[in-house]
Amino acid sequence: MPAHETRFSRRALLRAGFAGAGALATSAILSSCSIEGTIAEQAQTKTNWAKYWREHRKTGTLNFANWPLYIDSEKGKSKSLELFTASTGIRVDYQAVIQDNATFYATVSPELRAHEATGYDIVVMTNGWELTEMIQNGFVVELDHSRLPNFAKYASSSVKSPNYDPGNKHSVVWQTGFTGIAYNSKLIDREITSFEDLLDPAFTGHVGMMSDNTELGSAALLAIGVKPADSTPADWRRAAAWLSKQRPQVTGYYDQSYIDKLENGDTWISQAWSGDVFQAQQSGFPHIKFVTPKEGQMMWHDNMMIPMQASHPVDALEWMNFYYTPKIAGIVEDWVNYVCPVPGAEQYIRGPLDDKTVANSPLVFPTDEVLSQSNEFYVYKDYDEYEEWNTVFNPIIQS
């Protein structure tokens, strides 16, 4: 299993649209997709969801759009999907077509605005402005949770009712990850515990931060004692001031390449994604340590959603329900190595799959204490607010 390659490629693709100046291009894409709130309200109120689900039937087909290298795969075949077809009779057309959130949303939004089918029954989107706009504009189906008993039974509390989709009305989590701090313990001989360590003059010229302004701004908010989900524009400006104070210590604002800098010693300490560190540790760099700062860490989610006008929504629900079992989530998790939304998958990975490295990893199956220290991102109220965030934090990266 090419585990390190899996992690590298996935995160590089996920964040590509939000790095540095790329955020400006992303803003332009999103601006062209925006729809007034009154249209969103009309879209939401037109659908009788109980009637919608009564009228739809299983068809035996599922068109599933996901990111590259984001499901178990061996020689082009997926055991989890094969088991799903064997169990339900539903054939899956699995398409790894999502390269980044903004570009994919720009691709499908014309059909969504025109109330036409996108060709997909499930799409996987990261919580952020695009997902929020899809929900606000009535572009995704409200889920029938009576058909998702496995989600109710097996899902981690950390993926239930997130702030961007209360009650999981429109989405269920596919995978999760954490953003905290990583450091090279061969080059730093003391314990790292806090965002304040990123201000230490002893590390000047060897500190890495992220070029994704969402991650960068959220870390700074935690550093000044503000929960990002509850923050205000005034807080954003205070966080930007903290980042400006830190600027002399920073050697660079990095995309995925930050993990290479940690591995080769160019960077000693950096903002980091938990999954990258797990993969680095398994690839010959056990001295790269991941830390949940005492101020907390960020938690992101990739989510399965059903676009409006999907041709096979019942089949989509069947996959969501099938996935939320310890066996199937375990098969997927043992390959992708993110934070699993099904805690019971640990025992399946430990037992039948006999992979104690993954089963024992707190970066895949975190403790309740770590989850309690994990924070949701801010949910933008509208596009103007999203632009304001960009205006506050982009100059730090571009300076």
pLDDT digit string (tens) for 201-216? 999 999 999 999 999 9
Q: How confident is the model over 240-264, as a mean pLDDT?
A: 93
Eight-state DSSP code of residue 30: H
- Residue 31: CB atoms within 10 A of its CB come to 11
And the tokens for 352? 């039948």
Question: How many CA atoms within 13 Å lie on the side-chain side of 10?
Answer: 26
pLDDT digit string (tens) for 184-203? 999 999 999 999 999 999 99
What CATH number does the domain containing 282 carry?
3.40.190.10
- Distance CA(30)–CA(42), nearest Å, equals 21
The answer, as to whether pTM is greater than 0.95, is: no
Eight-state DSSP code of residue 339: B
In this structure, are 336 and 241 located in the same domain? no
pLDDT reading at 229 higher than 60: yes
61 occurs within a structural domain: yes
In this structure, are 148 and 221 located in the same domain? no
In this structure, are 319 and 284 located in the same domain? no
Compute the mean pLDDT over every residue in the chain, rounded to the nearest whole number.
89
- Distance CA(377)–CA(298), nearest Å, equals 7
In this structure, are 44 and 73 located in the same domain? yes
In this structure, are 140 and 65 located in the same domain? yes
Q: Given phi > 0 = left and psi -120 to 50 = alpha, else beta, which region is 78?
A: beta
pLDDT digit string (tens) for 278-315? 889 988 999 999 999 999 999 999 999 999 999 999 99
pLDDT of residue 255: 86
Strand-strand pairing, 297-305 and 122-126 = antiparallel
- Distance CA(123)–CA(50), nearest Å, equals 22
Cα 92 to chain centroid, rounded: 23
In this structure, are 292 and 273 located in the same domain? yes
pLDDT of residue 45: 56
Per-residue DSSP letters for 270-334?
A: EEEEHHHHHHHHHTT-TTEEEE--TT-EEEEEEEEE-BTT-S-HHHHHHHHHHHSSHHHHHHHHH
Q: How confident is the model over 39-66, as a mean pLDDT?
A: 83
In this structure, are 204 and 188 located in the same domain? yes
Reported as a pLDDT band with limits 50, 70 and 90, residue 4 is: very low
- Distance CA(322)–CA(148), nearest Å, equals 9
In this structure, are 34 and 109 located in the same domain? yes
In this structure, are 225 and 187 located in the same domain? yes
In this structure, are 155 and 211 located in the same domain? no
120 occurs within a structural domain: yes
Reported as a pLDDT band with limits 50, 70 and 90, residue 37 is: very low
101 occurs within a structural domain: yes
In this structure, are 172 and 229 located in the same domain? no
- Distance CA(273)–CA(296), nearest Å, equals 14
The answer to whether 277 and 182 are in contact (CB under 8 A) is: yes
Number of domains in the chain: 2
| Alpha-carbon separation of residue 285 from 184, 252, 259, 361 (angstroms) | 9, 21, 11, 15
Task: Output helix, strand, coil percentages for the chain, rounded to the nearest 5.
Answer: 50, 15, 35
Domain containing residue 235: 177-299+390-398
In this structure, are 268 and 311 located in the same domain? no
